[in-house]
Structure 1
Amino acid sequence: MRQCCLLIIACMTVLCSYAQQIHGRVADAQTREALPGVSVRLCHAPNGSTTNSAGKFDLSATPGDSIELSYMGYIGLKMPAGEVSAKSVIYLQPSSTNLNEIIISSARDQQPRTSAPVAISTVSSQQLNEAKPTTLDQVLNKVSGVYMVDLGNEQHTMAIRQPIGYKSLFLYLEDGIPIRTIGDFNHNALIEINMAALRNIEVIRGPASSLYGSEAVGGAINFITSAPALVPTAKVQLEGSNWGYRRADVNISGTSGKVGYVFGGYYANQHNGYMDHSDFHKLALTGKIVYQLNDRNKWTNAISYVDYQTDQIGGLDSAHFYARDYKNFQTFTYRKVNSLRIRSTWDHTWNKSNYTSFTAFFRNNTIGQNPFYAIKDIRGTLNANGQINSDGFNSYGIIIQHKKQFNWKQAALIAGVSADYSPASFWADYINITKDADGYYRSFVRTDSALTNYNVGLFNSAAYTQFEFVPVERLKVLAAVRYDRMDYNFTNHLTPSAYTGAPSERNNFNALTPKVGLTYDLMNNRGLYANYSVGFAPPNISELYTGVKVPVLKPATYYNYEVGGWLGFADSKGYIDVSAYYMKGSNEIISVRNADGSYENRNTGATSHKGIEWNVKYTPIRSLFVRTSGTYAIHLFKAYADGTKVYTDNQMSGAPRWITNTEITWKPQLIKGFRIGAEWQHLGNYFMDPANTLKYGGYDLFNARIGYEWKGFETWINAMNLGDKLYATTAEKSAYGATYRVGPRQTFNFGIAYTFTGK
């Protein structure tokens, strides 16, 4: 017996002498970023490992072993253990049909999609790379429930669970930080986003004020910038179109020791487009340095800069629109944007149960313009008047957040505080405009008459907390609440007789916004969720301080009730994600005409919004990918009157019931790197005015994309509006008549890129 035991020990010793320690690194195949938390295990043994914050792992294996790598949202990989050391990096491919991807926006922290009781969608890095968008609407309109309105040259407005409009009902963030200060909303804010620096985009539909505060009513869009690549990577991209659009992108990224770096930017220029006076240029640059001191401490510093200028074009009347007459009667209107954002974030992991992040940020922003919409004709003459104006602010802010996990019912608590001080200024000068006999506004003279000149000290402070736990198996419950206080210190530099002659004063607003939600896992990639949430939007400074007096206003409040669910198909071939909501708006700010003919902002509006949203992704065969998303919604006025005109129970203007986007992509196995796809965008009809007297018929657009990658090279052609459809991105009717914003004509974007990847 003793001899037998010695023989077994000897054999084990021999086998162990052949065991080897293998070292590997794991990264995302699309972005080349390190993937922490990847599970790495031997196929025929219980032992395994997990990649650290730098994507590295160590594992003992014997000759002939194989390893399996798995990570949520990625396609699993199996390979011989002996090949690991031969590879400098192991790349995992993101799964385009995976239901349970990792998201961060729903709780300001990483979590699986199926644990979030909210309607949230992701535009992945793969979608961004394959779509090659020249404007953000070309990818955001793929998201269910989203219609981003193209107003030309990256100008835009938004409709998410709301009609097409220009109010401060949407919150835009970059890496979780609002890109503009609260109280100074601009519907064109996404001009300030650097598309070349994005890793992915997350879209929350419905109120998100319990975590993010004001303006997150219809939705919140979080633009997540690229992280440093694990290996040295450089990309150069050139593209152009048949309408004079030219663009050059550059991206450089890598990691050296504990320091990672990433730089991305682009320069775009439009000249001689299909409409008169429609040129623009934009320079966007983003840099980021990440210092990973150890597994517990990470310091991230980022800077983003945008310099943008565009000719402004207005809408066309019905005669010019339907005649395809693309004349622009404004010849000197413009918009200029300069935006600088700097942030510094320290992430510290105290232990397995406690994590803290501290962020300090600075913003500098100026929008100067000679706006077309301010031009007013002087009846009976060839003269008009208008204005030149400038809106700017600086921001100094902090966000501190802590997460605590408990050894009870899988409970977790997130708590945070934030403060943002943003001194803002606005001025507008009167101009005299000369018009010719053909209706063109040819020239203007700036006068010494100041219409508006004021400063506002904006201070927003907030505290929020969110608690979640699992009271019974497969049921997760979440409760969140946030308190915001907004202080406006208004100083007017003009006399009471001026156009803006309101007296200097202080105003403050506060709001308590709760949220309660739950998710229930039905197993086998099926689940349900429900939530109740509240969103709010305080008065904008332009709503308060334009006129001869400051109106008494309260924040508009929205109450949202929502249910939804998801179902994954067998063999991970895709999934269905559905949500239904009912939202009531109260104290909405509308402009009311007084008996003397003047207009005044009041909290007299109320609305209701209800709809169903869906998103379906399916891969019937390995090379074919099908996606369809959309919404059916009804938006009604519940209390709305303009003077003697009452619009209660009318459909809201600019509110199509149907919005859908469907796409099919083929990647043949026999031609590796080749892809071809077709897309159908449908927008239903809608009323153009609150009185419901005129409808716009909506439109159907067809786009096609083709691309090919080979050994670092890539080329593509995107055909947008393939049938050269005449359509309006938005159509409105006012007392002056109907106005149509012309959608882009048939456009062919073509480009070439080269990516260098080191080892």
Structure 2
Amino acid sequence: MQRKYTLSLATILISLTAFVYGQTTSSINGTIEDRSGESVPWATISIPSLKIGVTADSTGSYLLTGIPAGNWELEVKYVGYRPYSLKIRTNGTTPTQKDITLMDERASLDEVVVSGTMKEVSKLDSPVPVEVYTAKFFKANPAPSVFDALQNINGVRPQLNCNICNTGDIHINGLEGPYTMVLIDGMPIVSGLSTVYGLSGIPQSLIERVEIVKGPASTLYGSEAVGGLINIITKNPRTTPILAVDAFGTSWGEINADVAVKFNVSNKVQSLLGANYFNYQNPIDNNHDNFTDVTLQHRISLFNKWNFERRENRVFSFAARYIYEDRWGGEMNWAPKYRGGDEVYGESIYTSRWELFGTYQLPVKEHILFMFSANGHDQNSVYGNTPFLADQYIGFGQLMWNKPLANHDLLAGLTYRYTYYDDNTPATADANNADINKPTHTRLPGVFLQDEISLNENNKLLLGVRYDYNSIHGSILTPRANYKWSSANKNNILRLSFGNGYRVANVFTEDHSALTGAREVIFDGDLKPETSWNGNLNFVKKVPLSSGGIIGFDATVFYTYFNNKIIADYDTDATKIHFGNLDGHAVSKGISLNVDLMLMNGLKVMAGATAMDVYSEEQGQRVQQLFTEKFTGVWNASYTLRKLGLTLDYTGNLYGPMRLPLLSDWDPRAIKSPWWSIQNIQITKSFSNGIEIYGGVKNLLNWTPNKGTPFLIARPHDPFDKLVEWDAAGQPVQTAENPYALTFDPTYVYGPNQGTRGFVGVRYSFY
């Protein structure tokens, strides 16, 4: 009490002095504490833009004077604690009281996560290893979509699946996109068609963080969460800026803009409205094959989230999103009038998609949440003269009950998922009459139970099981077990995970190559659900440095064994893709290491590497999986000059060779890709008024996959195979015009065709 009284008296005296001498300055005062409530003495408190600062006393109290009216950034530093910054407004007359809580450097790796166990928990306390990437991480290499933004995360690779339309999916530890579940605020939104087409258009100005779980999560999240999940957590309307703008353009002519606006509808209702706009209308053909190197796109996405404050802090929020995209790639002289014809080749995709999702806590004594989502996806695509028209509607509901009992933390849930799907492919055709369409209606009720057992202060055991009944494939059971040990100071953590996953596949919604029309799709029997067993060993170690910084190590060994895996066979016939369940097994195994370094001088380095082996084995023959590298590395180095308000970011990735599909024994292209790397640099200038200006260069090495390769797209001059000659078995033959016996094919793709380009942008946040 004596400390606060003395501080208040000093504040009054300063205010009186300012009044007497007519000075328009004010002060900021308060106390510095850590998370446990203990005072932090001798911390440095400053406003760098005003070049004023002060040191807290032995009790953690501070008084910063001589502050004119305006918006300022207050910084607090002390060895062993994370630097703290806060935007604060002063009016030049009234003192401002601000108590500050610092987090020690060990807590920098201890964010709150929800993806591993479906409830908020400290990252270090979670029995499931969860990687967290904040919005600041993605600002180091600004990208127009979530798909592009994930390129600098270890073990996660955006994979382009088409040289022409540039659609793609997300690989986790070498497993293709359909094995990755993408969620928004914990709801399974991105699935099916949008696994390929819907990853773009999520406004990055609305992203709070991205959580990634590697390995099967089917016990909690059901089908598609075999390889892992990506959970995009959007910002809470209560804590966001009133206005946030982020816009940039590139030297290639790309324009991207994110805008987010907060509305306080009432004291208890807040709304966050966001929009993303992306436009690229500049056909470029640097590899001289008469095809666009990058698809032309026109995209708009709208997002609206509502948060309602209720009694006893019960949760109620819901959000909606709409996205429309028009993209095309093809011959340089393509125009919409050629859409669907065989005169000029183009791939034109119209995507229209809506989503609705939310969470409501029931007004009962027990902690029971009702979570819901719904989405509709309309796809109107043409690949040359091959149309793909599809509609998909998904409804999802989940009732979840959380009950702590002694050293047990129980979580139980009931789920129901309904999927409607219709297209113009054999997937929904009548078995007896191909001219009759039969949309699929899939119902998937399920129940899951999870028990997190605290054996003691340092040991936890997580047991879970899920039962689903698929209306087409019947009963599916997925068990799960996780064990966590931590040292007393939590500087060492060991996690062991073991689980089962399953996936029901729809080739035409998941594999773009099945749609291009370049190859005929053949199904080798009815496709059965895939099952997998996975084991992960994860070790995390944090080493506090004497200088006040910290270095962290996160190493994982993973192994996944598949039964009934669905393999796309490009090798048997160059004119066909055979899809069928593997008569054998498939394996994805490897080891990954992440290293995080944070120093008090403003240097931060995040680097990671993954070495893996992904293959299938059938009848004693081992085959390396297509489009899967054996090594990948990523890095993100950031250095901040706080006095100048400048931040320098250097980001990049490195990929090892991957097996690629060839069309004949005479195909002159390499069977494996070379080592390749995309590197970027950016400099950001921050101003006290909330404005940031940034710019830099992407793809510093000007790497493109056509270098060292005779061609990427096979026979681009004859995209409809009008000049190809065929033998009696329906195979292309060698001729003077076609010496390699090839057909038109755009599937030889493993990296982006975009070379070096500059970019410049601006961000603005108003609180």
| Post-superposition CA distance 1:187-234 (Å, at most 9, x none) | 333136343422111111111111101111111111111111447510
Conservation of the 8 A alpha-carbon contact between 1:98 and 1:574: no
Conservation of the 8 A alpha-carbon contact between 2:81 and 2:105: yes
Conservation of the 8 A alpha-carbon contact between 2:680 and 2:697: yes
| Post-superposition CA distance 1:378-427 (Å, at most 9, x none) | xxxxxxxx321211122333111111111x22x20111111122322112
CA apart distance, 1:90: 6.6
- Cα 1:185–1:679 change in 2 (3 A) is closer
Matches within 5 A, 1:506-517: 507-517=472-482
| Post-superposition CA distance 1:538-561 (Å, at most 9, x none) | 132749999999944321111111
Matches within 5 A, 1:190-201: 190-191=199-200, 193-201=202-210
Conservation of the 8 A alpha-carbon contact between 2:35 and 2:102: no
For 2:563, the equivalent position in structure 1 comes to: 586
Q: 1:263 aligns with which of 251, 273, 276?
A: 273
Bigger mean CA offset, 540-549 vs 126-135: 540-549
Distance 2:685 2:203 in 1: 25
Calculate percent identity across the aligned residue pairs: 19
CA apart distance, 1:131: 2.9
Distance 2:381 2:459 in 1: 52
Distance 2:140 2:101 in 1: 19
Matches within 5 A, 1:316-335: 331-335=345-349
Distance 1:735 1:552 in 2: 30
Q: 1:170 aligns with which of 163, 180, 183?
A: 180
What is the CA RMSD across the aligned residues, in angstroms? 4.1
1:337 matched to 2:303? The reply is: no
1:664 matched to 2:637? The reply is: yes
Q: 1:365 aligns with which of 355, 377, 382?
A: 377
Distance 2:449 2:757 in 1: 48
Matches within 5 A, 1:682-693: 682-689=654-661
1:537 matched to 2:503? The reply is: yes
For 2:322, the equivalent position in structure 1 comes to: 305
CA apart distance, 1:606: 1.7
For 1:356, the equivalent position in structure 2 comes to: 368
For 1:442, the equivalent position in structure 2 comes to: none
CA apart distance, 1:459: 1.4
1:754 matched to 2:764? The reply is: yes
Distance 1:280 1:539 in 2: 29
For 1:322, the equivalent position in structure 2 comes to: none
CA apart distance, 1:587: 0.8
Bigger strand fraction: 1
Bigger mean CA offset, 466-475 vs 150-159: 150-159
- Cα 1:414–1:248 change in 2 (3 A) is same
Q: 1:159 aligns with which of 171, 182, 186?
A: 171
| Post-superposition CA distance 1:132-151 (Å, at most 9, x none) | 22233443222221111246
Instruction: Give the AA of the match of 2:487.
Output: L
| Post-superposition CA distance 1:408-450 (Å, at most 9, x none) | 22x2011111112232211259xxxxxxxxxxxxxxxxxxx98
- Cα 1:95–1:234 change in 2 (3 A) is farther
For 1:422, the equivalent position in structure 2 comes to: 419
Distance 2:114 2:474 in 1: 29
Distance 1:389 1:94 in 2: 55
For 2:31, the equivalent position in structure 1 comes to: none
User: Counterpart of 1:536 in 2: which secondary structure?
Assistant: strand
CA apart distance, 1:39: 5.0
Instruction: Give the AA of the match of 1:555.
Output: P
Matches within 5 A, 1:401-550: 401-406=400-405, 408-409=406-407, 411-427=408-424, 453-487=437-471, 507-524=472-489, 525-540=491-506, 542=508
User: Counterpart of 1:312 in 2: which secondary structure?
Assistant: strand
- Cα 1:609–1:512 change in 2 (3 A) is same
Instruction: Give the AA of the match of 1:607.
Output: A
For 2:679, the equivalent position in structure 1 comes to: 702
1:556 matched to 2:526? The reply is: no
- Cα 1:194–1:92 change in 2 (3 A) is farther
Conservation of the 8 A alpha-carbon contact between 1:688 and 1:732: no
CA apart distance, 1:88: 8.1
User: Counterpart of 1:190 in 2: which secondary structure?
Assistant: coil
Instruction: Give the AA of the match of 1:303.
Output: A
Matches within 5 A, 1:95-244: 98-150=108-160, 155-163=167-175, 165=176, 168-180=178-190, 186-191=195-200, 193-230=202-239, 233-244=242-253
Distance 1:191 1:520 in 2: 38
Q: 2:698 aligns with which of 696, 709, 720?
A: 720
User: Counterpart of 1:224 in 2: which secondary structure?
Assistant: strand
| Post-superposition CA distance 1:523-579 (Å, at most 9, x none) | 331111101111111132749999999944321111111111111121452311111
Distance 2:228 2:60 in 1: 52
Conservation of the 8 A alpha-carbon contact between 2:485 and 2:493: yes
Conservation of the 8 A alpha-carbon contact between 2:602 and 2:640: yes
Instruction: Give the AA of the match of 2:395.
Output: Y
Matches within 5 A, 1:376-415: 386-406=385-405, 408-409=406-407, 411-415=408-412
Segments of 5+ residues of structure 2 without an aligned counterpart are 9-33, 42-58, 64-75, 286-290, 333-342, 427-432, 515-519, 715-740
CA apart distance, 1:622: 2.2
Instruction: Give the AA of the match of 2:454.
Output: V
Matched residue count? 628
